[in-house]
Structure 1
Amino acid sequence: MSLAESWDKYAVGSKPRRAVNATGETTWLNWTQYADHGPNESVLGPVAGRRVLELGSGSGSNLAHLVTLGATGLGVDVAPARETVAKERWAGLAGLEFRTAEVTAFLTETDEMFDVVLSIFGAVWFVDPHTLLPLIRSRMTSGGVLAFSHLPPGGQSPQPGSSGMRHDHSPGEWEQILTGHGFTAASASLVDPPEGRAVGTMLVRSTAP
């Protein structure tokens, strides 16, 4: 089974996001694996007027929220089913598009530049950072923000296939890797889980010089 087929099978069986969150909002950004928990889009700084790329965009809900705040967004996901669902759900939202592609191929072929790149339990967790990060950096504007989240090392994996597909690193390791690939102001930390849950969330942020 190919990578796209594996992720497509996973996507078809995944549960869609709720239509409304606990505070009554119809769009929102969630960095963690828990509903109504953790930081919001402020991690990215102001997004109005900025071009945003999400790697592993899923159903498009996080990216759609940023577009409602004034960004223009492009979501890339390897699973064709994700593009289908995202386009159906967000068909009425201008400034938002989705494509099916493997992220390294997309970043190699595109000539677009982006002000913000994010990955929430997405491609940054599953693609060798020494391959992916230089490609991301090459498509980012000066001062652009890269932010991503995933489970900490040892956390239960949500992806199809073996846990060997993940690229788990400690906060210190992520900071060192990002700095080594030309990113600045790299910071990585663990977001504590909600009460009664054991596993937190790794949240990493850096900028392009």
Structure 2
Amino acid sequence: MPRPPLTPAEYWDLYKPHRGEGEQPTPEPGPFEWTQFPGHGPGPELLGAPRTVLELGPGEGADAVHLARRGIEVTAVDFSAFQIERARRWWAHVPGVTFVHADACDFLLTEATEYDAIYSMWGAVWFTDPEELLPLVAKRLAPGGVFVFSHAEPGPDAYGPQQMRGKWLEGRERELTVLRWQYTPDAWADLLKRSGFTHVDARVVPPPGDEALGTLLVRAAVA
């Protein structure tokens, strides 16, 4: 019987520690960018002027730190124990940012705090069933709050949960598989509206130059 796909947490805990030899140096937070192309597309202005922000899937934590250094109170939630331990170690000296080890849906379900903005930059939204996640996000936004997320644009006819594969782990031919959810902008807009969001703007930001893959970028609000 085939082994079920690894969860994203298991994937990142296994993949990240084996990307290179030795301790990875602390990254320097650069521009806050939604696309995978430096200097291309909008920046943090899509979040408005929030006082409190929740990031779902911060990874290395550089984007959360970027916002914290702008005076925003940031909570960053990731279910990879390795990612959170490393982010805490790297950014312990930065005030205004808290890294939490938890599953995104579990955190949203049990945490009573409301946030002015919630976002995910190529993070947890991509790897979580939206039918479960989006209603929980809507409940944790303050009135007038915004939800913004981005990830790679979907390939033709590759919609719904898709398998993402990779072979790393010190050169051994071991395949890791996780699921990521992909939809057209119109499908995302429908999912968000059914989950209680209004003023939905879902689109694909075209790539620059000869690059082949654009960025799905979605912004929605609650009343």
TM > 0.5: yes
C-alpha deviation, 1:119, in angstroms = 0.5
Summarize the Cα distance change of 1:64–1:188 in structure 2 as closer, same or farther, 3 Å threshold. same
Alignment of 1:15-54 (within 5 A): 19=27, 26-47=29-50, 50-54=51-55
C-alpha deviation, 1:63, in angstroms = 1.1
- C-alpha distance in structure 1 between counterparts of 2:126 and 2:164, whole Å: 11
Cα RMSD between the aligned structures? 2.4
In the alignment, which of 9, 26, 36 is matched to residue 4 of structure 1? 9
Larger Rg: 2
Q: Which runs of 5+ in 2 are unaligned?
A: 1-5, 157-161, 167-175
In the alignment, which residue of structure 2 is the partner of 1:23? Answer: none
- C-alpha distance in structure 2 between counterparts of 1:115 and 1:159, whole Å: 35
Summarize the Cα distance change of 1:59–1:94 in structure 2 as closer, same or farther, 3 Å threshold. same
Q: Which runs of 5+ in 1 are unaligned?
A: 21-25
Instruction: Report if aligned partners of 2:164, 2:177 keep a CA contact under 8 Å in 1.
Output: no
* Other structure's SS at 2:181 match: coil
Instruction: Report if aligned partners of 1:51, 1:116 keep a CA contact under 8 Å in 2.
Output: yes
In the alignment, which residue of structure 2 is the partner of 1:174? Answer: 188
- C-alpha distance in structure 2 between counterparts of 1:62 and 1:186, whole Å: 23
Instruction: Report if aligned partners of 2:26, 2:90 keep a CA contact under 8 Å in 1.
Output: no
Aligned residues: 201
Instruction: Report if aligned partners of 1:188, 1:202 keep a CA contact under 8 Å in 2.
Output: yes
* Other structure's SS at 1:145 match: strand
Instruction: Report if aligned partners of 1:114, 1:140 keep a CA contact under 8 Å in 2.
Output: yes
Per-residue CA shift, 1:17-55, capped at 9, x if unaligned? Answer: 9955xxxxx5421211223332111111123xx110000
TM-score, scaled relative to structure 2 = 0.82
C-alpha deviation, 1:157, in angstroms = 8.0
- C-alpha distance in structure 1 between counterparts of 2:163 and 2:65, whole Å: 25
Per-residue CA shift, 1:124-178, capped at 9, x if unaligned? Answer: 1111111101111111100001000011112998776446x11111111111111
TM-score, scaled relative to structure 1 = 0.87
Percentage identity across paired residues of the two chains: 37
Alignment of 1:24-173 (within 5 A): 26-47=29-50, 50-154=51-155, 161-162=176-177, 165-173=179-187
Which shifted more, 71-80 or 6-15?
6-15
In the alignment, which of 197, 204, 209 is matched to residue 218 of structure 2? 204
Per-residue CA shift, 1:85-126, capped at 9, x if unaligned? Answer: 211221211111101111111111111111110001111111
- C-alpha distance in structure 1 between counterparts of 2:19 and 2:209, whole Å: 25
Summarize the Cα distance change of 1:17–1:190 in structure 2 as closer, same or farther, 3 Å threshold. farther
Ranges of 4+ aligned residues in structure 1 off by more than 3 Å: 13-20, 155-163
Paired AA for residue 43 in structure 2 = N
* Other structure's SS at 2:210 match: coil
- C-alpha distance in structure 1 between counterparts of 2:126 and 2:191, whole Å: 13
C-alpha deviation, 1:79, in angstroms = 0.7
